Every structure is written in structure tokens, then in C-alpha cells.
Structure 1
Amino acid sequence: MIRVLVNGAAGRMGLQVVKAIAEDAATEPVGAVGITHIGEDIGELAGIGPLGIAVREGLAAALEEIKPDVVVDFTIPQAVFENVKTCMAHGVHTVVGTTGLTEAQRGELGKLAEAKGISVFIAPNFSIGAVMMMKVSEEIAAYLPDAEIIELHHNNKLDAPSGTAIMTAHKIAAARQAADAVPAPDKTHESLAGARGTVVEAVPIHSVRLPGYVAHQQVLFGGYGETLTIRHDSLDRKSFMPGVILAVKKAPKQKGLIFGLEHYL
């Protein structure tokens, strides 16, 4: 049985993680850390009945007292880097769903994880369908290098563009380079600032934030006389849970930093 502490447990994703961990036969929720609903039973909050686990403040103190095998972190971009370092200082494997870590931060965490012989798993997206969307986009980019990304999320998402969109852009750019495929020049020269979105490795990304969305992404490819669109829709946060559970089960067997769910598929 893998003992799991959820950091950010009272948030939308955290509650789904608590429920998924409790329902899986190989995992057990043993702790809940958050900044809201302090003292309340996390099972009640997740809608699965009392678990006898109160939401508490202070990640370090919880790690010292509970000593979990794995921490699942769904918090905020400003806190995740220090959260992971705190987990590593206590010798605890970490599964990170919080986006916002820079490449330099991931590099630093990777070196620390290797030195300590523990694992840090980071995924921009835990949806298996989203991972397949990125994989297919990477394959297409070698033949249709002209691409743009539209990502759509709920209005409470803190970062833009999404980690999934950024990772997709990196994969498209790598596939272009490997195939020596050069996109056509963008001749747009008169527009309002931001009209073409942000640009990651020469791939424009457009971010939509509206109530009603969960997590959605389209990758649009254009060629001579044809277009091809790949779209993925997460209609419920449950779509991320199989990936989270997979990562939790893999964590105790790994060492170092693993970036992206595709490494476990």
C-alpha cells in the first residue's frame, strides 16, 4: 500500500486526487495539506465520507509527522518549487501536477533528486488523451511544420499559456528541427498587440479563459491546399486521475526527475 499525502488537497484537483487515491486498492490517503478548510475532514470535502484525515497547514510539519511515501502536489505556481524541495528534504517522492516550474528549476530539482535517490515526477497534463494529442502533433509537425495552438481553460487557471500548450510547442519545434522542416513565413505586420498570441519556439499559442471550460486544446496544421486539426477535450477533472494514479504507483520505483506522462505509457 502506497501512503499518499495530497498538498493542495482542498482545491478542485486536490479533492479529485483524494477521491482517486482512496478508491484505488494500491494507494491510501494519509494526509491533506491546504490553505482553506483547515480542520475539516478531507473525505467529507471530497464527497466520499469521513476518512479521519483533517486538512492541515504546513507541509514540512505534516511530512515529519505523517511520513508518507509520496506527495501529490496540486497547489500554485508560486509555491510548487519550494514545495518539491521540502518533500525532497524529507526523502519523499513527489508527483507534481502544478504548472509553472521553469526549465532551470526543473534542472535543479533533477540534480537534487538524483543526489538523494528519490523521484520527482512532473506532468504538464495527466490526461492520457492529452498526451496522445501531443505525440500525434509531434509526428505531424515533421510533414506539416506550419502550426498554431489554441488552448482553452476555465477562468480560474492561474497561468497562461498552459503547460500542455508550451510542451506541445516544444515537441513541434523539435520535430521540425529533426526533419529539417521549415514553416512558411508569417507576413502579418499590422495588428493590435497580442493579436497573434504569444510565441513559443516559433509556434503561436492563443489562450482562452472562460467559465464553463475545463481543459481543452486544439493544434492546427496548415499545408498547401489543406488543413489538419487535432483537438483534445477534458470534460471533467476525473480525466486526469488515471494518470495521477499511474504516476503515484511508479514513484517509489523511480529515481531522479521524470517530465511528462508519456514516459510511463
Structure 2
Amino acid sequence: MAEQIRVVVVGAKGRMGRETVKAIINDEALAFVGAVDRTLDGVPVSQVLGLDAGEVQFSTDLEKTLLETQADVMVDFTTPAVMKGNIDKAIALGVRPVVGTTGMTPEEIAAWDAACKERGIGGLIAPNFAIGAILMMRFAAEAAKFLPHVEIIEMHHDQKLDAPSGTAIKTLELIAQEREKMGQGHPNEHETIAGSRGGDYEGMRVHSVRLPGYVAHQQVIFGGLGQTLTIRHDSINRESFMPGVVLSCKEVMKYEGMVYGLENLLF
């Protein structure tokens, strides 16, 4: 049996972190070796998460954890406020970041790409780890070649901090590669309530819904003469993201540089 890939999970106590820890434990190719949380230190992971995590304990010190565990991969599901510093620390120590937190700029991604290549390691930033969501984005980009009038409605739980979602932004970027920038709707339209037409990205409108009960959902709506086309993806629970997370932990060991988007590993 090949040597296991050693994985540290940052934000392990959170909803995505919990699912990630469980997925790593259940995959024979991966070894769960560390958990980082800003509020827990020295507490057994098994005690908090109710999972068979062996002797692994929570730590508040990311650098110390990465070093002591000799981690190969750091999976980050934290917040935009701390994620960037976590990526910097991981790359500096030669640990491959797999990041599901969103909110970074293209310039920051380019800088991390250069830093990863300098260290000879790979990294991945994925706005969405669900395979179905990646297919939704790919299908939407193809549809935009023929139906350029498009709007996006994305719906997430009410604890999500950024809007629009990283998935919506990635979808807009992919569509923009396939159609010319253009205005949509009546040129003299007026918002009676400011913002009711949503955000504007190269003429495409994006609308963000934040309500209890949702996990992660998006519909891309295309309009044409006498017809509409809706491409929709729904994550019913957070398990939907785990096949993509596990795949990323394995694939990130094989390349150099920071990849933006899980589709780059799939296609």
C-alpha cells in the first residue's frame, strides 16, 4: 500500500470541516493528522466531533500543527478574514493548500501560484467542490455561446459571509469567456428599490439569496426568442462536496502551482 497523504484540516469544528474530517478518515489513501480551530486547543477531536479520529487533538496554532504532523496537505474551510494568512503559512512550509473558502482576488491567486511553483508544490482553490456544480458551470458556459442573455440566482444558508458566492463568480467568469460583454433588459429600466436588478458582471445580472434551510444552490437562466433554459444545481447536504475534496487532496500532490477551480482537475 502506498504511503498515505497526511492531511490537516483548518476550521475542523465547522460544518464543512466536520464533513471533511469524516471523509478523510474514511479514505484509505488519506491520513487525518491534524485539526486547527481558533477556539480549541489540546481537546481530542473525537470528543468534539464524535468521530474516531484516533489521538488527534485540536490546536490553535496552524504553523506548529503543520510542522509537527509533517503535513502534506492543508484543507481550509475557514473565513475570508483568516484564509489568506493560512495559505501563506502553508506554502511557506511546503504544505499544499486545498481551499474551499472564497473571497480572494485574481492578483492574490496569481501570487500564490508563483509561490507554489517556487516551492515546487501544488495548490487548489475551489469555489465549489461538488462535481454536479462543476458540470453545471461547464454546461452554462456552453449554452452561453447560443443564448447570451443570462442571469444567475444563487441561494445559500444565511450564515454565508460573501455575496455573490464564489460559484456564481466562477460561473460568470466562464460565461464571459464565451460571449461578448453586453447590456441586458430595457435600456431605460429603473430600480424602484435599489439593487433589485442584482449585481452586474459584464452585463450579466447575479442575485444572491440568504435564508435558513438552504445549503448551496444555483440556477443559471438563459433567455432567447420564445424560450428559456435553466441549468440548476442543488447541494442537498454537505456530503455532496466530499468526493471533490478527497479527489483534490490526492491530485494536488501531482502538480506544481495554484489551480483555481476543480474543473481543471476533472477536464
Name the TM tier (shorter chain).
over 0.9
Cα deviation digits, residues 70-125 of structure 1 (max 9, x gap): 11011111111111110011011110111111111101111111111111111000
Give the corresponding residue for 2:109: 106
Shift of 1:44: 3.6
Q: Structure 1 length as normaliser, TM-score?
A: 0.95
User: Are the counterparts in 1 of residues 182 and 202 from structure 2 also a CA contact under 8 Å?
Assistant: no
> Tell me, what secondary structure is at the counterpart of 1:120?
strand
User: Are the counterparts in 1 of residues 182 and 203 from structure 2 also a CA contact under 8 Å?
Assistant: no
Q: Which of 43, 50, 54 is matched with 1:40 structurally?
A: 43
Cα deviation digits, residues 138-183 of structure 1 (max 9, x gap): 0000100000000000011111110000010111111114xxx856
Give the corresponding residue for 1:219: 220
Larger mean Cα displacement after TM superposition, 82-91 or 187-196: 187-196
User: Are the counterparts in 1 of residues 183 and 204 from structure 2 also a CA contact under 8 Å?
Assistant: no
Unaligned segments of structure 2, at least 5 residues: none
Give the corresponding residue for 1:117: 120
User: Are the counterparts in 2 of residues 173 and 202 from structure 1 also a CA contact under 8 Å?
Assistant: no
Give the corresponding residue for 1:152: 155
Q: Percent same amino acid among aligned pairs?
A: 49
1:15 has 2:15 as partner: no
> Tell me, what secondary structure is at the counterpart of 1:253?
coil
**Paired letter, 2:203:** A
Give the corresponding residue for 1:138: 141
Q: Structure 2 length as normaliser, TM-score?
A: 0.94
What is the root-mean-square deviation in Å for CA atoms of aligned residues? 1.4
**Paired letter, 1:260:** G
> Tell me, what secondary structure is at the counterpart of 1:81?
helix
User: Are the counterparts in 2 of residues 10 and 36 from structure 1 also a CA contact under 8 Å?
Assistant: no
Cα deviation digits, residues 48-84 of structure 1 (max 9, x gap): 2342111110111211222101110111111111111
Q: What is the distance in 1 between the residues matched to 2:213 and 2:240?
A: 16
Q: What is the distance in 2 between the residues matched to 1:99 and 1:239?
A: 18
Q: Which runs of 4 or more aligned residues in structure 1 lie more than 6 Å from their structure 2 counterparts after TM superposition?
A: none
Q: What is the distance in 2 between the residues matched to 1:35 and 1:79?
A: 10
Decide which structure has greater helix share: 1
Give the corresponding residue for 1:87: 90
Give runs of aligned pairs for residues 182-261 of structure 1, distance below 5 A. Answer: 184-187=184-187, 188-261=189-262
Q: What is the distance in 2 between the residues matched to 1:102 and 1:186?
A: 32
Q: What is the distance in 2 between the residues matched to 1:84 and 1:260?
A: 16
Shift of 1:189: 2.3
Q: What is the distance in 2 between the residues matched to 1:212 and 1:40?
A: 31
Q: 1:136 to 1:60 in 2, by over 3 A?
A: same
Cα deviation digits, residues 2-49 of structure 1 (max 9, x gap): 010001111110111000000001001000001134332223433323
User: How many residue pairs are counted as aligned between the two chains?
Assistant: 262
